[in-house]
């Protein structure tokens, strides 16, 4: 009898290959789930950073000029605010010269 022709050898080889393939698929799945989680966390952080930047520029304008900016374009021109207009919609509603404007930032989903 040949040592390579033992009855259980083929079965053991197939079982070890199945385990290796299964383990590889599990590792890839965990990796993809991790990437997805990091991506969603990063997107939330970017929205918060834009919100903080807009509010900082609004307050800075009021401190320097004595009134709140009349529109978002004014902040972009005079205070250097830049953002991805395809990815975010910024709703800027001025209420008055001495009342802080209402700002809503919505991510549109385009990347």
Tracing tokens 């809503």 back to the chain, one arrives at: 104
The pLDDT-based confidence of 40 (bands split at 50, 70, 90) is confident
**Nearest to 58, CA basis, from 89, 88, 92:** 92
pLDDT exceeds 80 at position 6: no
Instruction: Tokens for 72, please give them.
Output: 């978002």
pTM of the full structure:
0.65
Name which of 15-24, 67-76, 78-87 the model is least confident about: 15-24
pLDDT exceeds 70 at position 84: yes
What is the model's pLDDT at position 109?
74
* Separation of alpha carbons 39 and 60, rounded Å: 31
The domain spans of the chain are 7-107
Three-state SS at 82: coil
Three-state SS at 84: coil
Name which of 19-28, 60-69, 88-97 the model is least confident about: 19-28
């Amino acid at each position: 009898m040949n040592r390579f022709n033992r009855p259980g050898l083929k079965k053991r080889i197939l079982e070890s290959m199945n385990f290796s393939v299964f383990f590889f698929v599990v590792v890839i799945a965990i990796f993809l789930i991790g990437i997805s989680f990091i991506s969603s966390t990063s997107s939330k952080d970017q929205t918060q950073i834009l919100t903080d930047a807009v509010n900082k520029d609004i307050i800075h304008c009021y401190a320097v000029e004595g009134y709140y900016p009349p529109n978002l374009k004014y902040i972009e021109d005079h205070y250097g605010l830049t953002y991805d207009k395809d990815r975010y919609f910024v709703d800027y509603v001025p209420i008055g010269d001495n009342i802080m404007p209402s700002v809503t930032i919505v991510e549109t989903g385009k990347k």
